[in-house]
Amino acid sequence: MNVDPVSISPAFVVGTLLMALGTLIRVVSYKYLGRYFTFHLAIRKDHQLVTTGPYSIVRHPSYTGAWIYMIGVAVSQLGPSSLYTELDLWKNPLGFVAGVCQLVFIAYIGLTIHLRVQKEDAALREEFKDKWLAWASRTPCRLLPGVY
């Protein structure tokens, strides 16, 4: 095993950049939502449908940012040339279990996001009706432009 404690791996750089990008997307999304942002699904009094900025690209950009962030975590911590790989932690039984747990957690976050966007779309469609339908036709993708 040859680990240079001073070097920074490409996986770490790419993962860190993805984490920074995901964070930036989330912060900008929160800024556009303003007072309508909550951690729990809620329609506020005098709620307005936000369709500008990142919400004109995908309907749930904050979750896009979260997914990008989580992928960055996986790449930087578990990817090729990561400290995890360089220390052969995948070959250690406890290390293997810890790595699998991290991957399962990331998959769980992905599933949670998928289910949450469906609930949010349903609540917004119910509240805003034709406005939501018009926005959804202009912005058909929930998380990834041109894909989903």
Tell me: the pLDDT tens digits for 116-145? 999 999 999 999 999 999 999 999 999 999
> What is the predicted pLDDT for the residue at 8?
83
> What is the predicted pLDDT for the residue at 2?
61
In the block, tokens 């929930």 appear at: 142
Q: Which two tokens stand for residue 110?
A: 């992905």
Residue type for 63, please?
A: Y
- Tell me, yes or no, if the pTM score tops 0.85: yes
Mean pLDDT of residues grouped by 10 in the chain (148 residues)?
68 95 98 92 92 98 97 92 86 95 95 96 98 98 96
What is the 3-class SS of 89-115, one letter each residue? HHHCHHHHHHHHHHHHHHHHHHHHHHH
Q: How far apart are CA 41 and CA 31, in angstroms?
A: 17
> What is the predicted pLDDT for the residue at 9?
84
Kindly report the number of other CB atoms within 10 A of residue 56's CB atom: 14
Instruction: Decide if 16 contacts 68 (C-beta within 8 A).
Output: no
Kindly report the number of other CB atoms within 10 A of residue 97's CB atom: 10
